[in-house]
Amino acid sequence: ITDPLVLFMPSGKRGRFPVGTPVLDAARQLGVYVESVCGGRATCGRCQIEVQEGNFAKHKIVSSLDHISPKGPKEERYERVRGLPEARRLSCSATIQGDLVIDVPQDTVINAQVVRKAATDRVIERNSAVQMCYVEVEQPDMHKPTGDLERLKAVLQNDWGWKDLRVAPHLIPEVQKILRKENWAVTAAIHKDMEFSRATVIALYPGLKNEAYGIACDIGSTTIAMHLVSLLSGRVVASSGTSNPQIRFGEDLMSRVSYVMMNPDGREAMTKAVREAVNTLIGKVCEEGGVDRHDIFDCVFVANPIMHHLFLGIDPTELGQAPFALAVSGAVQGWTNDIGIDVNRGARFYTLPCIAGHVGADAAGATLSEGPYRQDSMMLLVDVGTNAEIVLGNKNRVVAASSPTGPAFEGAEISSGQRAAPGAIERVRIDPETLEPRYRVIGTDKWSDEEGFEEASWTTGVTGICGSAIIEVVAEMYLSGIISEDGVVDGSLMAKSPRIIQNGRTFSYLLREGRQGEPRITVTQNDIRAIQLAKAALYAGVKLLMEKQGVETVDTIRFAGAFGSFIDPKYAMVLGLIPDCDLSEVKAVGNAAGTGALMALLNRDHRREIEKQVASIEKIETALEPHFQQLFIDAMALPNKVDPFPKLAE
């Protein structure tokens, strides 16, 4: 007789196991992630599963509740004391009695909120670098004079298989006290990242400790974003963001590098500022999630190269000049205590590798999240900030570059530009006949020509144009003939519309006159130039990578970052920011860098995956490519001097 067949859902992993095998053991052998803190003592309740009943023809399995052992005394005790949902069983106690289809419930898989963020809809299987292990340590005996610590290590090896364990030095003075507090029962937090690295006890608690958290953090030049995640359930407990306080040292990255070069303690000041902001943000997500910050054991960071260096306390001066040498390009690991991050005293940190001098760990995070290297189709991944980070490739080859777009897309350097905030114009349409505009303002839900707009916009006022609307207004001006292919405002239209106004030798478009106390909002010739320069830089970078790949078109485009979430892909293409592509294949993926950090936090295999990919990504330095200039000049025209956009016409 053959052994029963066991199928785990949703992973679909299956195998045959002898009758009597605990379900948890079967899961382990197949590499299906089921949590366990108490080591199968039926006390932690982390290992819950459900049995599906029925005839699963496709898998040729008849699964029934009779095919699993009835609840034993330990499981019954757990149910009595802690409660067990109706259909649930503890997989450490329940044993296999016949063919089974087992459901690993959603709350033990990553929550849907995170999965949706990755356009690839990947479920992140958990295999975090930190594991909580409950043990009952043998009590001391006069005849066996081993130390308490040695007996702790012995039982961790015996019950959990940890060999050659290290114990974090700060714990050693505490061990005896902790062991005696709950009658020799303790939970050890054990960190192990690489296959060959030694596992380390990083924290120790009396009794059963059923909570462990991690943070995934994206340190951007303007914003720092963070997820607080339960390492045991994979659930995102809270997410939040704050502005990067380094802005006071310089708006853009290069001015921050100059600050370091000009001020003797500039680097220290900036490192301190960003670490303080990260600590404050940890406080904020912990408060939101009702979590004690000392229950955070692992922290994963992504950042652009300059932020990465400053955060780690590295002088970024070399990144400010050719050949843009990174001090360290590989993944960095260490103790959070050494970088001034206030979480558990024994917590570890990990930063994703940087791709190149201008393409950072954030781009590596976005690459991990969107996974161009996993696909047949040619994927373009762009993260637009003051520097656009561009990755292009498929499973055969991936190339990356950065392009100096400047801050125009973020609304800086634009006469009426502002950050996306209540009062900012976010959508614009221009009637090609009358040249009259309609617009929508953040904080109101009406278009400007709808009844009630004036009242609705009264509280916020109408204060400026945000990044997404700048793209739209310039594109609409082009579509309605107000500007030419070269981006020049046609002054002869003054005769047709009072919205065209003259400023010296150039012309502007009046978007809104403004009520009393409000600014007059115009789009000037300079504004259009700034957008042209930014979009030409982005496009030229993309085009250079397409040439390296030897392709004329791309199959999919992913916009990462806040900018991408707000712009309308159609307008981005009208202006020629991005190459021609089926519009349905252009998607905004939100903070993909943060999602990549989350993946690396929840599963250490993803760390190895991105480390390997980054090592093989080909880095192109746009500044050193003689051809870049020509591509840039061609891309100044709307949408482009040489490249056609056939998909736009469709």
Non-local (6+) Cβ contacts of 93 within 8 A are 22, 40, 42, 69, 71, 72, 74, 75
Non-local (6+) Cβ contacts of 80 within 8 A are none
Non-local (6+) Cβ contacts of 505 within 8 A are none
- Closer Cβ to ligand FES, 187 or 549, answer by number: 187
- Closer Cβ to ligand FES, 30 or 261, answer by number: 30
- Closer Cβ to ligand FES, 115 or 208, answer by number: 208
The footprint of ligand FES (CB under 6 A) covers 36-38, 40, 42-47, 90, 92
Q: Where in 104-233 does DSSP place strands (E)? A: 130-136, 166-167, 185-191, 200-206, 213-219, 223-230
Q: In the bound complex, what is the minimum distance in angstroms from residue 90's beta carbon to ligand FES?
A: 4
Calculate the dihedral angle through the C-alpha atoms of 162, 165, 171, 173, rounding to the nearest 10 degrees.
120
- Closer Cβ to ligand FES, 44 or 482, answer by number: 44
Q: In the bound complex, what is the minimum distance in angstroms from residue 230's beta carbon to ligand FES?
A: 16
- Closer Cβ to ligand FES, 42 or 130, answer by number: 42
- Closer Cβ to ligand FES, 137 or 299, answer by number: 137
CB contact at 8 A, 477 and 483: yes
- Closer Cβ to ligand FES, 103 or 547, answer by number: 103
Q: In the bound complex, what is the minimum distance in angstroms from residue 154's beta carbon to ligand FES?
A: 21
Pick the closest to residue 525 from 482, 563, 466, 555 (CA basis): 482
Alpha-carbon distance of 387 to 9, in angstroms, equals 43
- Closer Cβ to ligand FES, 72 or 147, answer by number: 72
- Closer Cβ to ligand FES, 37 or 384, answer by number: 37
Residue in the block written with tokens 């670098």: 129
Alpha-carbon distance of 185 to 69, in angstroms, equals 28
Give 380's DSSP letter: E
Q: In the bound complex, what is the minimum distance in angstroms from residue 131's beta carbon to ligand FES?
A: 12
DSSP states along 183-202: TTEEEEEEE--SSSSPPEEE
- Closer Cβ to ligand FES, 24 or 390, answer by number: 24
Q: Distance between the two ends of the chain, CA-based, in angstroms? A: 63
Q: Is the dihedral of CA 537, 540, 541, 542 positive or negative?
A: positive
46-82 burial: b if 16+ Cβ within 10 Å, else e: bbbbbbbeeeeeeeebbbbeebbbebeeebeebbeee
Q: In the bound complex, what is the minimum distance in angstroms from residue 36's beta carbon to ligand FES?
A: 3
Q: In the bound complex, what is the minimum distance in angstroms from residue 37's beta carbon to ligand FES?
A: 6
- Closer Cβ to ligand FES, 90 or 420, answer by number: 90
**Residue whose beta carbon is closest to ligand FES:** 92
Alpha-carbon distance of 600 to 368, in angstroms, equals 9
Q: In the bound complex, what is the minimum distance in angstroms from residue 64's beta carbon to ligand FES?
A: 22
Residue in the block written with tokens 């979009």: 535
Q: In the bound complex, what is the minimum distance in angstroms from residue 83's beta carbon to ligand FES?
A: 13
Distances (CA, A) of 465 to 118, 337, 420, 458: 29, 43, 8, 17
Alpha-carbon distance of 468 to 442, in angstroms, equals 11
Q: In the bound complex, what is the minimum distance in angstroms from residue 117's beta carbon to ligand FES?
A: 30
- Closer Cβ to ligand FES, 40 or 579, answer by number: 40
In what order do the strands lie in the sheet containing 506-512? 500-503, 506-512, 521-523
Q: In the bound complex, what is the minimum distance in angstroms from residue 540's beta carbon to ligand FES?
A: 56
Tokens of 583: 């519009």
In what order do the strands lie in the sheet containing 100-103? 14-16, 5-9, 100-103, 48-52, 88-90
Cα–chain center distance at 298: 16
Q: In the bound complex, what is the minimum distance in angstroms from residue 111's beta carbon to ligand FES?
A: 21
Q: In the bound complex, what is the minimum distance in angstroms from residue 108's beta carbon to ligand FES?
A: 12
- Closer Cβ to ligand FES, 25 or 268, answer by number: 25
Q: In the bound complex, what is the minimum distance in angstroms from residue 110's beta carbon to ligand FES?
A: 20
Q: In the bound complex, what is the minimum distance in angstroms from residue 215's beta carbon to ligand FES?
A: 25
- Closer Cβ to ligand FES, 45 or 596, answer by number: 45
CB contact at 8 A, 324 and 358: yes
Q: In the bound complex, what is the minimum distance in angstroms from residue 130's beta carbon to ligand FES?
A: 16
Cα–chain center distance at 476: 33
Beta bridge partners of 521: 512
- Closer Cβ to ligand FES, 34 or 489, answer by number: 34
Burial class (CB in 10 A: 0-12, 13-18, 19+), 391: buried
Alpha-carbon distance of 96 to 65, in angstroms, equals 10
Tokens of 502: 């003259």
- Closer Cβ to ligand FES, 36 or 240, answer by number: 36
Q: In the bound complex, what is the minimum distance in angstroms from residue 97's beta carbon to ligand FES?
A: 18
